[in-house]
Structure 1
Amino acid sequence: MTEHNWYLCTESRLEQQFTNYIAPFWQEHVRLGSFQGNADIRVSYAYCVPEQAKQSVLISSGRIESLLKYKEVIYELYRNGFAVFVLDHRGQGLSGRMTVNPHQGYVDDFQHYVDDMCHFIDEIVTPQQRGALNLLCHSMGSAIGALTILQRPTQFNRVVFGSPMFGIRPALPEWLAKVLIGVNRCANWLLPGSSGYFFGQRDYHADDFMVNRLTSSEIRYQLFRNLYAEQPEIQLGGVTPQWLAAASAAMWKVEQHAQQITLPALVFGAGEDTVVDNKRQQRVVANMPDAEYILVEGARHELLIETDTIRQPVMKCIFDFFSREF
């Protein structure tokens, strides 16, 4: 196998890299746009295509995320010769909301996410694509990505699932989760002044770095929170019972049909993840015919914004995986 010297950003120079390289790159090379998805919801997207690109990567991001949060990852992919495509899932980021309160995480059915992804591929990605199309997924985006693969099994060359949401924590029995979701939906409907959130959820709130569950990298965490403070329109809070019901159905479908995800898959689990259920994650991946599972010890949920010691080996593995010829 050919040894690659991949370009990667570093924590020690990250603020300088954002100012001197990533910000100008974003202005000069990244094209932004939107389309009207199902139920006339606006779906925002971005893409960039280097002149010598030989392969393409479609990013399926996690819950609460915006494509703006992926500037470092997109810049690295571009610098390493990949055409990059990313959309903001409906209900979050720069895309349109479906509830009066824009902070509520809401969707009726994950199929709407999949429909948006397929429309994006057909109308935006395919005309600009260079070489094979790979799929890079994080968390909720992994459930969406897996469902898209099940619907279009020959669309992608390879897939990377990072901290995939194939199960969430706390890992409740299916019957109990359904009861809680049902009770909460009734309470939201019957009680005047109800928040509309699932029990214990609330509007966007920026946790202090010392108590965050997402990353051990203080600089990357702070850049993420600064972005959301500077652009409050991309802020998103907790989930509604409708989203939880849709997520539960989506995860069940992925688990039941995991053996049909036959393309080469590289799956990273975060050893210190307190967001998704690693046991269920491993059970699902074990049923994928051509999947390699790597548990990243010491990592929190967001591998793509972790410390260099965790993140750089993961990114190198991703680039190597997407670059394999066979």
Structure 2
Amino acid sequence: MDEILYATPDNPVPGNHFAGFFEGKGGVKNRYAVFRSAMPEAKGTVVLLQGRNESIEKYFETINELTARGLWVATFDWRGQGGSGRMLRDARRGHVARFSDYEADLSRFLEQIVLPDTRLPFFIVAHSMGALVALSQAPQLESRIDRMVLAAPFLALAGQVMSQRSISAIANAASFFQLGARTFRGDAPTTSFEGNVLTSDRRRFSRNLAICSTHPEIAIGPPTARWLKETLGAIGRVSRQEHLTRIRIPTLVLCPTLDPIVPRSVLNAIAHKFRAGRLIEIDGARHEVFHEADRYRAQAMAAIDAFIPGSQAEHTALGA
């Protein structure tokens, strides 16, 4: 076992790395790791941004593939999850006080870890909630990030008992009445492969489940009302035309077509308004494309290969 990162039998910690903690906004200790490529000349550094209730360990497979391609990978656990500091006494509740705290932590990670300790140029590869943070922060990242790949960006909350509008109204009311730390449902982790909405790959589903079963301290339960309020508010803001127009970083959006959480129709609608963005559909994939069956996951990795690091000619053509 690494002192900071956790291995399981079928998910060893990648070699050639260093890990630690950096101080996020408000003094929160955020766990990070940087994985070096063994190639003598690095092609750049991927800043890998996870989704909600994910951790560095869940991405060891993807990290190994990226470093084998000559890229370094720098990643960290968002506040309130993984190996980072929790926001509430009940460590299982997925909570954030303000969505801007995520953005502030990303900025600190870039300034304190990525800029001084990794290799140019810098790219973002982000999933779900991490992709939402990247989209929100993108207008301020133009001078630092060359390209972004956003997989199933969290731009809708579908597949729930209530509509997104109803969830938003209740979350806003709960926060207003100082009940933002409450959750809407019980803490019952998904342990059955059958019926899961995340992946059609049984092996990867079981591997990820084993990570959390072996190290339950890095997993969290349902989100709080405040988390929902802040995140759904950010979705509304970044989906507006005026925000998307301000993003000039060439961006690739990976759209899994059988994702019940973020519907295909939502991502297609965003793509029509997103001048710097290009959408690629992965037909048949569910929400977690980096943990999907090989036939879907390979399409996502091939799209990354074709887009990162890219050439100067491509940058010019895409308006960078």
Pair in the same fold by TM > 0.5: yes
2:49 alignment partner, one of 60, 74, 92: 60
Give the TM-score of the pair, scaled to structure 1: 0.86
1:32 alignment partner, one of 16, 19, 25: 19
Is 1:45 matched with 2:32? yes
CA contact (8 A) 1:60 1:142 kept: yes
1:237 alignment partner in structure 2: 221
CA contact (8 A) 1:161 1:267 kept: yes
Where structure 1 has 5 or more consecutive residues not aligned to the other structure, the ranges are 1-17
Is 1:196 matched with 2:185? no
2:3 alignment partner in structure 1: none
Deviations 1:47-92 (A, max 9, x none): 0122421211001110000011000001111111001100100000
Is 1:222 matched with 2:206? yes
1:117 CA displacement: 0.6
Alignment partner of 1:300: what SS? coil
CA distance in 1, matches of 2:181, 2:20: 32
Structure 1 residues 109, 285: closer, same or farther in 2, change over 3 A?
A: farther
1:137 alignment partner in structure 2: 126
Deviations 1:152-211 (A, max 9, x none): 22221110010111122158777644422234447884xxxx9820x2x23251330112
1:182 alignment partner in structure 2: 172
Is 1:288 matched with 2:246? no
CA contact (8 A) 1:258 1:287 kept: yes
Alignment partner of 1:237: what SS? coil
Q: Which moved more, 1:83-92 or 1:206-215?
A: 206-215
Is 1:164 matched with 2:150? no
Task: Compare the two structures and name the one with the higher helix fraction.
Answer: 1
CA contact (8 A) 1:260 1:288 kept: no
Is 1:303 matched with 2:289? yes
2:318 alignment partner in structure 1: none
Alignment partner of 1:114: what SS? helix
Alignment partner of 1:166: what SS? coil
CA distance in 2, matches of 1:178, 1:67: 29
Structure 1 residues 174, 212: closer, same or farther in 2, change over 3 A?
A: closer
1:72 alignment partner in structure 2: 61
Structure 1 residues 175, 195: closer, same or farther in 2, change over 3 A?
A: closer
Where structure 2 has 5 or more consecutive residues not aligned to the other structure, the ranges are 1-7, 315-320
How many residues were matched structurally? 300
Structure 1 residues 182, 292: closer, same or farther in 2, change over 3 A?
A: closer
1:282 CA displacement: 2.2
Alignment partner of 1:75: what SS? helix
Alignment partner of 1:210: what SS? coil
Which residue identity lines up with residue 225 of structure 1 in the other structure? L
Structure 1 residues 222, 236: closer, same or farther in 2, change over 3 A?
A: same
Which residue identity lines up with residue 274 of structure 2 in the other structure? M
2:244 alignment partner, one of 244, 258, 274: 258
Q: Which moved more, 1:222-231 or 1:37-46?
A: 37-46
Structure 1 residues 153, 205: closer, same or farther in 2, change over 3 A?
A: same
Which residue identity lines up with residue 46 of structure 2 in the other structure? V
CA contact (8 A) 2:256 2:287 kept: yes
1:12 alignment partner in structure 2: none
Which residue identity lines up with residue 36 of structure 2 in the other structure? V
CA distance in 2, matches of 1:220, 1:143: 24
Give the TM-score of the pair, scaled to structure 2: 0.87
1:41 CA displacement: 1.2
1:254 CA displacement: 0.8
